[in-house]
Amino acid sequence: MPQRNFINLNVNPCNMCMPMGASGVFRGIEKCMIVMHGSQGCSTYIRRHMATHYNEPIDIASSSLNEKGTVMGGSANLKQALRNVLKVYKPKVIGISATCLAETIGENIEQTVKEFLVEEKISAVDCIVVSTPGYGGSQYTGHYLTAKKVIEHFVLKSGQSKRINIIVGSMSPGDIRHIKEILDEFKLKYIVFPDISETLDGGYRAEYARIPLGGTKISDLKEMGKAGATLEIGKFPDEEISPGQYLKSMFGVPLYRLPLPIGLKNTDLLIKALSEVTCRGIPRKVESDRERYLDAMIDSHKYNSQAKIAVFGDPELVYAVTTLCLENGMSPCMAASGPANKRITPEIEKLSREYKKNLVVLEDTDYQKIAEVVRTANANLLVGPSDGAFMTEKYGIPLVRVGFPVHDRIGMQRKVYVGYVGSMNLMDEITNTLLASKQANYRESMIRKYYSC
């Protein structure tokens, strides 16, 4: 591994930019089209990553700022992009993500959009502008910042409702569908936002829809201030970008901030919260899923003690997967959060003390540093996005692909890793990967151990 000749500079960061997170949120709203105000390459980058991960067509418009727009201002480009989107896609909502270039030259995007709506006499389309320069944060912060901005735009007033807000973060469409199944078992009326369960994993239809069907309904977004409670599945976003905190502060909606429900403890927290807000006992189906997961933990426990696992990705995923590994007798040697997050390091250090394990905690890091720790700690398994696959090629350490993005496998949008069922799926996948690696390398390892000079 070459020596780093720089300080505090991430060359190949273990995260993506804010507009990526914004795009995922906008894609979770019904009849919403995304416009990126910036260079053409920004929208191309986002489309490519999302299309190869979700295996769905991804349309994202661009204002296509060039040299002239950079110097003279890009308002004309943005207005033309909005005209084109309205004509071709006929959306109910337009999510406008400001990229690095637009933010750097100081574009007043809010004013430009207001002028456009007046000039074109448009009142039936909601335009939501979010400041998401790539240098301003990561995909993780872009997600929560945009979700909060959407709620600020739509939520009108407080009141009383029997529904519960479920605000989701690092989940696949399959994960969200499974969360809905759990909510249905509690016979709960709910609003899930952002809801990508159909928009980023739709079924085949004979007639192509320019904007995919599904997403959180606009009418539901307007009612979120009346909910009986908010369950925000996100333990680590700062309060200033927490949608749930905004609903609590502005409308008095009680807030439960929960970790990603992967692993026994984290899923128990979700189920306990659902039981509290519904004032109901735990449904038998949910209890049965938990019992089955406990039995699966017993089945695999005897194999997991040999696991030295390096986990990397966004903060929610890293914390949840690390928890699952510790609960199942594995020894995580590294937990690396690509984005900077002041909350995750003390939380994972607390976990390591609880389970009496020593592991390296990284944040705001890149793949070169991750690879250095992986080699130093003699990790024998990796868990994270497919961007870490180079370590499998270089060092022969298998990778269990979890999170976003995964470009070299099919079906990640359908994977379920949350809840008791999803946790069992992930645990089985990790254990089976360990077994396969051991069987493939058993003879070689014995020769090295007993016959090497």
Of 134, 128, 167, 124, residue with least CA distance to 149: 128
Residues 445 and 66: their CA atoms lie apart, in Å, by 57
Q: Count other Cβ atoms within 10 Å, centred on residue 453.
A: 2
Which CATH number fits the domain 18-154, given the four candidates 3.90.870.40, 3.40.1590.10, 3.40.50.1980, 3.30.1330.50? 3.40.50.1980
Q: How many CB atoms within 10 Å of residue 231?
A: 26
Q: Which two tokens stand for residue 108?
A: 């007043």
Residues near 17 by Cβ (< 8 Å), separated by ≥ 6?
A: 100, 132, 134, 138, 139, 142
CATH match for 301-449 among 1.10.3720.10, 3.40.50.1980, 3.40.50.720, 3.40.50.1860:
3.40.50.1980
Residues 6+ apart with CB under 8 A from 188: 164, 274, 277, 278
* Structure confidence at residue 106 (pLDDT): 87
Residues 278 and 256: beta-carbon distance below 8 Å: no
Instruction: Write down the domain spans for the chain.
Output: 18-154, 164-278, 301-449
> Which residues, including other chains, have CB under 8 Å from residue 235's CB and lie 6 or more apart?
257, 258, 259, 260, 315, 316, 319, 343, 347
What's the CATH architecture for 164-278? 3-Layer(aba) Sandwich (3.40)
Position 452 scores a pLDDT of: 55
pLDDT for position 444: 65
Give the pLDDT of residue 394. 95
Residue 442, both tokens: 């058993």
Instruction: Report the pLDDT value the prediction gives residue 5, as an integer from 0 to 100.
Output: 45
Structure tokens at 303: 């194999």
**What tens-digit pLDDT sequence spans the chain (453 residues)?**
445 545 556 778 899 899 999 999 999 999 999 999 999 899 999 999 999 999 999 999 999 888 877 777 789 999 999 999 999 999 999 999 999 888 888 889 999 999 999 999 999 999 999 999 988 889 999 999 999 999 999 998 777 888 999 999 989 999 999 999 999 999 999 999 999 999 999 998 888 889 999 999 999 999 999 999 999 999 999 999 999 999 999 999 999 999 999 999 999 999 999 999 999 999 999 999 999 999 999 999 999 988 999 999 999 999 999 999 999 999 999 999 988 888 999 999 999 999 999 999 999 999 999 999 999 999 999 999 999 999 999 999 999 999 999 999 999 999 999 999 999 999 999 999 999 988 877 666 655 555 554
Secondary structure of the chain as H, E, C letters:
CCCCCCCCCCCCECCCEHHHHHHHHHCCECCEEEEEECCHHHHHHHHHHHHHHHCCCCCEEECCCCHHHHHHCCHHHHHHHHHHHHHHHCCCEEEEEECHHHHHCCCCHHHHHHHHHHHCCCCCCEEEEEECCHHHCEHHHHHHHHHHHHHHHHCCCCCCCCCEEEECCCCCHHHHHHHHHHHHHCCCCEEEECCCCCCCCCCCCCCCCCCCCCCECHHHHHCHHHCCEEEEECCCCCHHHCHHHHHHHHHCCCEEEECCCCCHHHHHHHHHHHHHHHCCCCCHHHHHHHHHHHHHHHHHHHHHCCCEEEEEECHHHHHHHHHHHHHCCCEEEEEEECCCCCCHHHHHHHHHHHCCCCCEEEECCEHHHHHHHHHHCCCCEEEECHHHHHHHHHHCCCEEECCCCCCCCCCHHHCCCCHHHHHHHHHHHHHHHHHHHHHHHHHHHHHHHHHCC
The pLDDT assigned to 4 comes to 52
**pLDDT score for 445:** 61
pLDDT at position 3, please? 52
| C-alpha torsion angle, residues 123, 128, 129, 130 (rounded to 10) | 170
